[in-house]
Amino acid sequence: MLDKKVQDHIDLVIPPAKKELKFIKEQNWSEISHLGKRESMYNLQSILNERNINALVKLYNLAEEDLGHPEVRKSIKILLEFYYILEKRYQNVDKKFDWTKFDQSEKDIEKKMADEIEFQSGVLKDLSRFKENLRKINFGEESNDLDIPIHSDKPIPVIMAESVEARYPEIREFINKKLTQK
Q: Is the pTM of this model over 0.75?
A: no
pLDDT in tens, 103-137: 888 888 999 999 999 999 999 999 999 999 898 88
Q: What is the pLDDT of residues 52-76, one digit of tens each?
A: 999 999 999 999 888 889 999 999 9
Q: How far apart are CA 76 and CA 60, in angstroms?
A: 8
Taking the alpha carbons at both ends of the chain, their separation in whole angstroms is 20
